[in-house]
Amino acid sequence: MLFLLVSTMAIATSAVNYSSRALQDKITDLPGLSTQPTFEMFSGYIDVSSAQDNSRQMFYWFVESQSKPETDPVFLWTNGGPGCSGLGGFMTEQGPFRPTANGTALTENPFAWNMIANVVFIEQPVGVGFSTTTDTDIAYGDAQAAADNHRFVVGFFKRFSQFAKQDFFITSESYGGHYMPTLALSLVKTKDVPNFRGVAVGNPLTYMPYRNYGMYGTAYGHQIIPKPMFDQYILAKCKDTWPTPAACGAITDQMDNILGGFDPYALDFPVCDASSSEQFGTHERHLMRENVRRSTSHHSGGGYFPKVYEPCSQAWAASYLDRDDVRKAIHVNADVPKQWELCSNAVNQHFNMTDVNAPMMPVWEEVMKVSPSNFKIMVYSGDDDSVCATLGTQQWMWKMNMQEKPGEIWQPWKFNNVADDGQVAGFVSKFQEGMSFATVHGAGHMVPQTRPAQSLQLMTAFISEEW
């Protein structure tokens, strides 16, 4: 059972020998913990500039597996945006710790992904979070991000060479629907990371027209939008026309007003009611909404909860990471300005909008064409998200004309924790080309935050030989 597996992992100790350079990045005393963890942690900077001239320094935080770090796979994680920090995932989703109110302390996350893997979280593109750049002419976009992230991966395995022989997977969510296929294509083409085994991306932005319909169709399916208004949306050809007709703006404005009382990233979950003083830093969700607005000429825009779900955790994470003692402990450059932000408006506003609007299906198709036969791709989708909704993902997924694996289409997968053993946790479909599609029932946009136990179970299955 999953809970037994977790408790066994928690007592594991490191068996990895590190180079003197890697040990310079070792975290020896992390503030906010009542006891220091048994697994090793490292953080610092890796040069990702094209000329290796230190003009682009990407910040990372690496945590060993709590099971068998010397043999478990390595995961790379970045958040979306574009322009949001992977430390958002570390602090509020699948990292080993969660912040308490106002960032005063840390609590352990029993469903952290480093229960099963060594995980490196990155802040990218440079200019996000603690990452730095002196390059004032960066053309932020998908190609730039893929190139810098590729250089990070190569640099990481150079510094932590003992992990280069282990399976390597790249993971993300949201705008990771662009980051991951472009990075995957770069890695499989160059073959300079020989143990690159696959990619997993949650609730991905893949194609803006499908995203837009997915949002309003999901709200309608949740009985939040009235039928006459949704009928207007369909009759105005807002669903199938891109760019959408001008009339769609007035209709979606009305829908957005109705959705204003909900968290569109997790429709059945509570919203954060913190005061404005606690809303520290820009949230990933706000930048995604801004991209939706910018993508057209006009405005577009009940579940059971985990006991540990905290809608204000992103604000608390910002408070924690901006503490002086934390910055010192994790080796943040002294010249990085105070007030860490989850997302960078500057990076987001300068990101290439042609890239944001581009369909990623052709990139996925090329990845599957040039990758080895044992390469794995998993798209997973929390079905309580309306912003990058399961409905929108199904639009592009089934239009790719992939060959279905007989008997493995829309099969239920069961949740195996003690309290809910045997409950349907979602559905999995697998295709001959190497891609799979998994839904996570009741999960929002941030699946590891809204359904942490199911998220860990799904990732455990994904990296297994049986998947």
Indicate if the pLDDT at residue 352 is higher than 60. yes
Cβ density class 113-123: b for 16+ within 10 Å, e for less: bbbbbbbbbbb
> What confidence score (pLDDT) does residue 149 get?
98
d(CA 263, CA 348): 21
Across the range 276-283, mean pLDDT stands at 41
Residue 367's pLDDT band (cuts 50, 70, 90): very high
d(CA 287, CA 143): 20
**Structural fold of domain 2-207+356-462:** Rossmann fold (3.40.50)
Percent of the chain with pLDDT over 90: 75
- 431 to each of 269, 285, 428, how far by Cα in Å? 32, 31, 10
pLDDT in tens, 441-467: 999 999 999 999 999 999 999 999 989
pLDDT in tens, 123-175: 999 999 999 999 988 999 999 999 999 999 999 999 999 999 999 999 999 99
Q: Look at 144-148, 302-306, 409-413 and tell me which has the smallest mean pLDDT.
A: 302-306
Q: Characterize the bridge pairing of strands 196-202 and 118-123.
A: unpaired
Please give the residue that has the higher pLDDT: either 61 or 301: 61
Domain spans of the chain, in order of start: 2-207+356-462
d(CA 170, CA 151): 14
- Computed over every residue of the chain, the mean pLDDT equals 89
